[in-house]
Amino acid sequence: MALFFEKWLRDIKYEQSLGAGIPTTVPNILGPGGGIAIWHDAGAIIPWMVYQNYGDKAVLEEQFDTMVSCVEYSKALAGEDGLIKTGQQLGDWVSMDVPRGPWLKREEEVWNLELIEKIGSTDPHFVANAYYAYSTSLVAKAAEVLGKTEEAEKYRKLHEEIISNMRDEYITKNGRLISETQTGCVLALHFGIAEEKDRKGIFDTLLDNLKQHRMHLTTGFAGTPFLCPTLSENGAHDKAGMVFLKEDCPSWLYHVKLGATTMWELWDGVNPDGSFNKFEMNSLNHYSYGSIGGWIYHDLLGLKIVEPGYKKSGIAPRMIKGIPVMKGKIETVYGSLGCEISCRNHKYVVDLEIPENTTAIVSLPEREEETLGSGRYHFEYETESSFEKERYDHDSLFRELMENPVGNRLLNEYAKDLMENGMFLMFSKERPIVELTGMLPPEAMQLIDMVIAQCNANPV
């Protein structure tokens, strides 16, 4: 891939030289137009990612002017308050947090979606400024790697100013985010827009939003790459796993279950019966949502870059319920970096591969962290943990707990008021437990979690 990106980045440099910002396709086959956040920011993001993965400074040296021009173009769009508030933006492109398509009454043979149906509910200029800040931070990092001290300081300062301006514009004095969508929360957390004092509140808002959607994502192009990583980074790796393993729309496995062998542009491009939705724009070969691969390799399997080019790597697998066996590898410039791990019958079995002339910081479940050199390593050890999918979980209907004899007894013994509340039962029996988390106090949910555990110990 290195040679491909080397060539493609030169194409970006050419398109950018035409003065209209980086277009949404490179080479540009769509005609005039460019400078739209995310697509435009590829000019700063891709060179940095190539450097991180291959460890070759040459890509930064060749593309540094492009990275700078990318940021300076965005800076020219900003107003007196230092933020982008004008120009065409595509926001959280094709997110699922606004009604569209089948959710609206349409009679046309082909559905040509309105722009508002495509850009989603997240403030499009919040998205633009978040990526503007991100690109600026990468230019500062690239300058530091290249020994460009003045440029590094210049763009580090600009990044701090953008973040400060965004906090003033988009976060209230009490820590509420103006755009409280899943994507809004994710970008605020992942890109460091939220101050430390506000992070917990914004993260709780993200979790509440997920619960309202039965742990389904609603994110589009802007938020999806960072949703599961943000959950994992903030102590909710299990929630990231729940989102990842959903099988109905919108989800990755919805596509897989319908026979997809490529990523789709739209979460709902195909109906459950296999028929195509009538969207005019409905690509079935579109990479964007394939970004979940980054979370699978880096957070789930735990293969991470510690030093550019994987000269030093991290191996820290983090298993989730429903996936008791994982295996994968990354072909680095030094060789294969791999991890195979299983947890069955209360026993971990792990095989690691570390490339020649490299080291890895290894953090296996329930073991002390250690640094290992190149080679192959095998581990086996006992555990109380289990990652097999259980009969009962938060996706179970409340009725299912009631139908389990042990669950019924515990609920009547410890939650008698709830079980005698006809209104509550009418509302809750046919609803998944995850939907009840927002209406019941924490102590009630702790009780339900205990009931779930006991039902799993005594399944029917």
Q: Which amino acid is at 433?
A: I
Q: What per-residue confidence (pLDDT) applies to 359?
A: 98
Fold annotation for 2-170: Glycosyltransferase (1.50.10)
pLDDT confidence of 30, banded at 50, 70, 90? confident
Query: What residue ranges do the domains of the chain occupy?
Result: 2-170, 310-382, 398-457
pLDDT confidence of 32, banded at 50, 70, 90? confident
Q: What per-residue confidence (pLDDT) applies to 100?
A: 58
CB 321 within 8 A of CB 307: no
pLDDT confidence of 110, banded at 50, 70, 90? confident
Fold annotation for 310-382: Maltose phosphorylase, domain 3 (2.60.420)
Q: Which amino acid is at 394?
A: H
pLDDT confidence of 412, banded at 50, 70, 90? very high
What are the tens digits of pLDDT across the range 226-254?
999 999 999 999 999 999 999 999 999 99
Q: What per-residue confidence (pLDDT) applies to 440?
A: 87
Q: How many helices (H) does the chain have, and how many strands (E)?
A: 17, 6
Question: Which region holds residue 226: left if phi is over 0, alpha if psi is between -120 and 50, else beta?
Answer: alpha
Please give the mean pLDDT across all residues of the chain: 94
What are the tens digits of pLDDT across the range 341-382?
999 999 999 999 999 999 999 999 999 999 999 999 999 999
27 upstream amide cis, omega within 30 of 0: yes
> At residue 113, does pLDDT exceed 80?
no
Q: How much is the average pLDDT of 251-279? A: 93
H helical segments located in 214-259: 224-233, 237-244, 252-257
> At residue 102, does pLDDT exceed 60?
no
Q: What per-residue confidence (pLDDT) applies to 105?
A: 61
Structure tokens at 350: 């792990």
CB 277 within 8 A of CB 101: yes
- R_g of the chain computed on alpha carbons: 24
CB 178 within 8 A of CB 194: no
> At residue 279, does pLDDT exceed 90?
no
What are the tens digits of pLDDT across the range 296-320?
999 999 999 999 999 999 999 999 9
Q: How much is the average pLDDT of 249-272? A: 95
> At residue 291, does pLDDT exceed 80?
yes
CB 359 within 8 A of CB 369: no
